[in-house]
């Protein structure tokens, strides 16, 4: 057998450093809580994005943000989320 017995994993991803929008997205892909510099970079990116786009784009961004926040909360508080979900579902499906 030739060649090395082991190889180091090669990181082929472009550098997505903390404190950049790419860094923020990287945290998301890795299911990590974004760090403060990344949050700030993301907020700045969104501010720029909104400034360049109209109300409709802003509305879509709001919806996306709301959905993501919702998912993050559900992940952070699975028990509470499940409880609320069931109670709301019960209200909707409660037939007299």
Interface contacts to Zn ion, rule CB under 5 A? 18, 23, 35, 38
Contact 74, 81 (CB under 8 A): yes
Q: Which is nearer to Zn ion, 14 or 79 (CB)?
A: 14
Q: Which is nearer to Zn ion, 35 or 74 (CB)?
A: 35
Minimum distance from residue 15 beta carbon to Zn ion (Å): 12
By CB atoms closer than 10 A (0-12, 13-18, 19+), residue 1 is exposed
Contact 23, 37 (CB under 8 A): yes
Minimum distance from residue 25 beta carbon to Zn ion (Å): 10
Minimum distance from residue 13 beta carbon to Zn ion (Å): 14
Distance (Å, whole) CA 18 – CA 16: 7
Q: Which is nearer to Zn ion, 18 or 74 (CB)?
A: 18
């Amino acid at each position: 057998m030739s060649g090395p017995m082991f190889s180091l994993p090669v990181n082929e991803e472009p550098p997505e450093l903390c404190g950049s929008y790419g860094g923020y997205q990287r945290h998301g892909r890795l299911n990590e809580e974004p760090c403060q510099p990344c949050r700030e970079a993301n907020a700045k990116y969104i501010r720029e994005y909104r400034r360049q786009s109209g109300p409709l784009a802003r509305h879509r961004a709001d919806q996306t943000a709301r959905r993501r926040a919702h998912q993050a909360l559900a992940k952070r508080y699975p028990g509470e989320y499940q409880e609320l979900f069931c109670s709301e579902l019960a209200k909707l499906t409660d037939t007299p």
